């Protein structure tokens, strides 16, 4: 591959001529980084019996959210217990990198209400010692770059046994632009992170609002304007036109590609070339395992762990019943548990379930409200996905030097 003027070929690919590639060990020797450390191993590692309701946060890989440490969902240990540990004391500004099991997740430690946080042995901290030569936010974004992630994953192996210990991490290559350019790159990518975080918070808020609306509207606690009266209580046996018997198909009959969806017990539908059903208003849900319900449209097939229910569209709005199932998913899931043995929901139990529901016109009005909320959520999630893709493209450009940023944020000519 031809290297364009002003760039050079390195062990990590083509980068600008004034950028350097150094190992973690070299950065430690040059006193740019402190020696990376992880949490305590062996018998000294905190046990579940050491956890308390409040104290020093004990941080694991699943506490990383959008490049930050979510301290609200952490385990905690007492300060007395933490002070007896030998290492893994992480402080504000540290860059965290997971190196065992789920490898390559990153976060930066924000402001703390405690002197430090404790790390699990699966997490390494990288502490910048000389901020005039290495920016910690740049380092975190570099760890997230496709090049580094690919290298890290290959060195760590794969699957649940993936692991790259501290000694091997010392040989990891770090690309270091001039410090002003590091700061400019970090600022640009951190702005996108802030946008993603804002979208995540808004999506979570909208989901909570929709859940509250479902609880109020689908139980009759809140009525939409123009509606009143008492809702009827009916059994599934009287509500649904048919409760189809289970299929003879299994999930093993699913194809990678096929004309029709094959609904399975939980999980995403597979594909199949045969359509067992062609009903316009149909609900499909699993009879065992984790309860899941879907509204089927057009031709489809199901496996032997699914029920198919049909409604008369003239007297019932399938969207309302789909939402009702979603609201009562936990109760339905409990009905599949019959003590020891395989979980399943038998047909007599299914037919006996009671539903309090309004007339069809009110069902449709409620379904419209919930559909509008779902559409708003879908639009936000699409926006988040596009923003995430934008960040990936920016990382590919900025962290390889294909696109350059001046300190003030203006592109180089």
Residue range 59-91, pLDDT digits in tens:
998 899 888 898 888 999 999 999 888 899 999
Is the residue at 194 inside a domain? yes
The string of pLDDT tens digits covering residues 293-339 is 777 777 888 887 777 888 888 888 989 998 998 898 877 777 765 55
Question: What average pLDDT does range 102-127 have in this prediction?
Answer: 93
User: Vertex 179, ends 177 and 181: CA angle to 5°?
Assistant: 65
- Domain end position, chosen among 176, 211, 245: 176
Is the residue at 291 inside a domain? yes
Q: Are residues 29 and 41 in the same domain?
A: yes
**Comparing 206 with 85, which gets the higher pLDDT?**
206
Residues in the chain, overall count: 413
Per the structure, how many domains does the chain have? 3
State percent of the chain over pLDDT 90: 60
Is the residue at 371 inside a domain? yes
Q: Are residues 371 and 281 in the same domain?
A: no
Q: Are residues 299 and 377 in the same domain?
A: no
SS (H, E, C) 324-360: HHHHCHHHHHHHCCCCCCCCCCCHHHHHHCEEEECCH
Q: Based on C-alpha coordinates, what's the Rg of the chain?
A: 28
Is the residue at 282 inside a domain? yes
Q: Are residues 218 and 285 in the same domain?
A: no
Alpha-carbon gap, residue 213 to 80, rounded angstroms: 46
Is the residue at 253 inside a domain? yes
Supply the CATH number for residue 297's domain. 3.90.220.20
Q: Are residues 216 and 237 in the same domain?
A: no
The string of pLDDT tens digits covering residues 236-295 is 888 876 666 567 888 888 888 899 988 887 678 889 998 888 876 688 877 655 566 777
Q: Are residues 352 and 365 in the same domain?
A: no
Burial class (CB in 10 A: 0-12, 13-18, 19+), 115: exposed
Is the residue at 274 inside a domain? yes
C-beta of residue 190 within 8 angstroms of C-beta of residue 137: yes
pTM equals 0.81
Q: Are residues 341 and 377 in the same domain?
A: no
Structural domain including 194 reads 178-224+360-405
- Domain end position, chosen among 176, 192, 210: 176
Encoding tokens for residue 276? 């067992």
Is the residue at 412 inside a domain? no
Q: Which of 54, 57, 43, 28 is nearest to 128 (CA)?
A: 28
Q: Are residues 71 and 139 in the same domain?
A: yes
């Amino acid at each position: 591959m031809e290297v364009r003027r002003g760039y050079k070929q390195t062990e990590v690919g083509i980068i600008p001529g004034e950028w350097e590639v150094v190992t973690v060990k070299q950065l430690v020797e040059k006193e740019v980084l402190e020696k990376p450390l992880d949490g305590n191993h062996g018998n000294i590692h905190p046990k579940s019996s050491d956890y308390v309701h409040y104290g020093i946060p004990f941080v694991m890989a699943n506490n990383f959210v959008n490049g930050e440490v979510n301290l609200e969902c952490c385990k905690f240990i007492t300060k007395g217990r933490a002070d007896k540990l030998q290492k893994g004391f992480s402080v504000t500004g540290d860059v965290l990198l997971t190196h065992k099991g789920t490898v390559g997740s990153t976060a930066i430690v924000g402001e703390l209400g405690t002197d430090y946080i404790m790390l699990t042995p699966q997490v390494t901290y990288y502490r910048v010692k000389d901020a005039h030569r290495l920016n910690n936010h740049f380092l975190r974004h570099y760890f997230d770059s496709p090049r580094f992630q690919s290298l890290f994953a290959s060195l760590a192996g794969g699957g649940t046994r993936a692991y790259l210990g501290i000694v091997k991490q010392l040989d990891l290559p770090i690309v270091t632009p001039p410090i002003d350019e590091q700061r400019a790159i970090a600022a640009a990518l951190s702005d996108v992170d802030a946008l993603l975080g804002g979208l995540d918070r808004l999506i979570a808020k909208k989901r909570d609002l929709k859940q509250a609306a479902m609880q109020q509207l689908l139980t009759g606690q809140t009525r939409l304007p123009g509606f009143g009266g008492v809702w009827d209580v009916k059994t599934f046996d009287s509500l649904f036109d048919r409760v189809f018997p289970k299929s003879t198909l299994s999930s093993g009959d699913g194809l990678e590609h096929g004309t029709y969806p094959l609904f399975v017990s939980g999980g995403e539908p597979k594909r199949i070339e045969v359509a067992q059903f062609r009903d316009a208003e149909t609900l499909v849900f699993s009879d065992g395992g984790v309860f899941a319900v879907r509204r089927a449209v057009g031709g489809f097939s199901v496996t032997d762990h699914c029920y198919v229910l049909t409604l008369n569209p003239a007297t019932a709005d399938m969207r309302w019943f789909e939402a009702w199932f979603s609201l009562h998913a936990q109760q339905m899931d409990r009905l599949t548990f019959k003590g020891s043995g395989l979980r399943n929901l038998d047909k007599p139990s299914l037919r006996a379930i009671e539903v309090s529901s309004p007339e069809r016109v009110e069902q449709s009005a409620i379904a419209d409200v919930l559909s509008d909320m779902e559409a708003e959520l879908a639009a936000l999630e699409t926006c988040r996905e596009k923003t995430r893709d934008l960040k990936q493209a920016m990382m590919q450009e900025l962290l390889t030097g294909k696109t350059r940023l001046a300190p003030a944020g203006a592109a180089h000519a």
